[in-house]
Structure 1
């Protein structure tokens, strides 16, 4: 009798491969269209409402296209309109219509004077780029923030790593629609994902090494898993909405996915550089960097991974530290930890936030739970380090999911990281059966037998 992880894996495989993947595609686009329509009608955030109005149409058209593909599949199963290339085409259309089109629309409207067409993080990143150009640091010091009017102090903080200011530099040079930080977030995201897909397609699998002519079925399943991973990072509403209205998390996520793809392709040095670039943008990439370093140690390549994974974020921090170390500490440490002049508005009702706000000494309890979870993951890494890119992605995905749930201050949108990482894991298989979805019991690199 199969155990629970094996049964769950087989169930997911049946769902994912039903009608050659078209059934789940239809569900994804249909549910996304409903979500976008509800967002357009009910959201209290004006950029979100504007996104929903455009994205709902794009998702609906994509769902209709998949419906047509399903009908064609019944009549002419061999038609090119129902194969994997056609699914990639619909995915590309969905990303353009649900993410890029609303992004460009809002950027153009903002350039013509609309002040309600960007979330606050866009303004923060662009201001950081302007300060970097003028003062050599993207951060305001605590005294400068305190001197701002109370309603503007929150926007005075830049709770990102120094590299994020690079996306704000175009706006500091030219004030027009194409210098909107979101445009450059999209460019960075698309470039990183394209490199990740190319790395995985070029990487030899075990089947290729053992048998030069790998089976067409294996190649198809591997590419289908890759498509599903790309969908999770692009057309999933939580990602499309974030890119169109704010966007700063998407290049960080895409670089982490690129790092894992390079790890699967046995390029540890390049994997370290990719995750190091992500870490120079945002702290969310640092846990991924640490797990990748442990993966590198299992392959006697820990130094090569660490050189980029640690070296690039440190190199990005040094100039800001030398220019104004108090400003760096205030923005990068004190504010995210809840000790700034104002508190972060990130207050999604996850367990950590509910504990922190609903129990006596709740903030200390939530922090203790978060530390305990971190220690448990550290013990897991020490006892059974990940030996494959798949195991690395799963540890990162589940670890970030637990961290987001337990952080006292967090956002619902942060879930895009674990969702994309966990969906990306099957695409990292280099063994012949690339369509098997790994479960937590396989993190050590061992499979679970029936």
Structure 2
């Protein structure tokens, strides 16, 4: 393919082929770099497979074969390393934490060890997370792996959040999202944050449709797994109020709150009352860096760097975190989101600020705002709802962009 042809080709969402080639090559460089520098076996496996997949996808994009580019990226970054690691039972410790919590819940009645002697004995999630590990007690081998069921929950939530029309185009957009390195790496080696991202998306989508009670139930289930879903309740409430009249807005908020209280009362309250100290130590003190044992979450983010300066730095990081939370609250009150996509963007900004300023955090947590921002792009405006642009052209991932049947823009000419 000549340079002139490459510049004129459009492989996905109307973006020039050379841009997609550059993006895919950057993804491949990141994957191969991770393979070279990481000391963790699962990361090295993912980096090697994903690097080859992205390189092949870039070649397909250069030839104008957008759908094959997506397939190669998904296969190399998600399917091949995922099947290999599942078959070998290799992954990050978070996967086995969920499975151990489920085993502990069934055998002792609580997902938490009362006196863990090492970090591996901690379960830094709320009791609902043990449900994700229950399949490992029923299905032997890879079929019971917690990563697999985390991915099932995630994909089910995002498919439930699809627009009323344009489902095939939405599906291709999800394929592009799943091929991205932040998602593919997390899904293959860990997967714990996938259900969190999924319930946030589905909860906001239901709130955008006016289904306050169902949104509350979905977000309540997410809060029973990880407390980082709690801000989504505030954003969903702002979305419901912004779309309704004052009286109906109050009723929607009540329905949202009642819906969320149900899962929390069933999945969290019994253990919160029976073993308050253990739950506070493992779910709140340990992840924040104030537990009996040091947390392994130590990515060089601003909050972590401040906390490393001593008690004064830790309090400084906490003050900055509270200021960011106050700013997000002001933003929601001043300009409530009018659509589910706008609400997802606000939640992504808020969670990104929280993860960056938290005294103890890691880069992997940013998977949730990444998914929220990507989903907001998929459902933005009327184009996502109908799958077409203002002039009726396909602007969805995998479509032909603004190009007509002959490869020229409608109403314009290409050089």
For the aligned pair, the TM-score class normalised by the smaller chain equals: 0.7 to 0.9
How much has 1:155 moved relative to structure 2?
Answer: 1.0
1:312-360, CA deviations, whole angstroms, 9 ceiling, x for partnerless residues? 2343102323443332222222222323210111111111111121366
**1:358 partner SS:** coil
1:325-340 matched pairs, under 5 angstroms: 325-340=276-291
Partner of 1:193: 158
Alignment pair present for 1:167 and 2:118: no
Partner of 2:203: 259
User: How high is the TM-score relative to the length of structure 2?
Assistant: 0.81
Deviates more, 1:182-191 or 1:302-311: 302-311
1:345-364 matched pairs, under 5 angstroms: 345-358=296-309, 361-364=312-315
User: Would you say the 8 A contact 2:91–2:189 is kept in 1?
Assistant: yes
In 1: Cα distance, 2:129 partner to 2:310 partner: 36
Aligned residues: 372
Partner of 1:12: none
How much has 1:18 moved relative to structure 2?
Answer: 6.9
How much has 1:46 moved relative to structure 2?
Answer: 1.4
1:63-119, CA deviations, whole angstroms, 9 ceiling, x for partnerless residues? 22222226xxxxxxxxxxx6xxx4xx7535533431233122112112xxxxxx211
The match for 2:120 among 151, 155, 169 is: 155
In 2: Cα distance, 1:41 partner to 1:286 partner: 37
How much has 1:287 moved relative to structure 2?
Answer: 0.9
How much has 1:415 moved relative to structure 2?
Answer: 1.6
CA, structure 1 residues 256+21, in 2 after alignment: closer, same or farther (shift >3 Å)? farther
In 1: Cα distance, 2:56 partner to 2:123 partner: 38
How much has 1:196 moved relative to structure 2?
Answer: 2.0
**1:272 partner SS:** helix
In 2: Cα distance, 1:337 partner to 1:105 partner: 34
Alignment pair present for 1:285 and 2:225: no
Partner of 1:442: none
Deviates more, 1:318-327 or 1:183-192: 318-327
Partner of 1:8: none
How much has 1:294 moved relative to structure 2?
Answer: 2.3
How much has 1:177 moved relative to structure 2?
Answer: 2.2
CA, structure 1 residues 279+94, in 2 after alignment: closer, same or farther (shift >3 Å)? farther
The match for 1:238 among 182, 188, 191 is: 182
Deviates more, 1:256-265 or 1:337-346: 256-265
CA, structure 1 residues 19+390, in 2 after alignment: closer, same or farther (shift >3 Å)? closer
How much has 1:16 moved relative to structure 2?
Answer: 11
In 1: Cα distance, 2:13 partner to 2:318 partner: 43
RMSD: 2.9
Partner of 1:34: 29
Alignment pair present for 1:126 and 2:121: no
Gaps of 5+ in 2: 1-9, 391-415
Alignment pair present for 1:268 and 2:268: no
Alignment pair present for 1:69 and 2:64: yes
In 2: Cα distance, 1:342 partner to 1:400 partner: 25
User: How high is the TM-score relative to the length of structure 1?
Assistant: 0.75
How much has 1:172 moved relative to structure 2?
Answer: 2.9
**1:284 partner SS:** helix
Partner of 2:258: 307
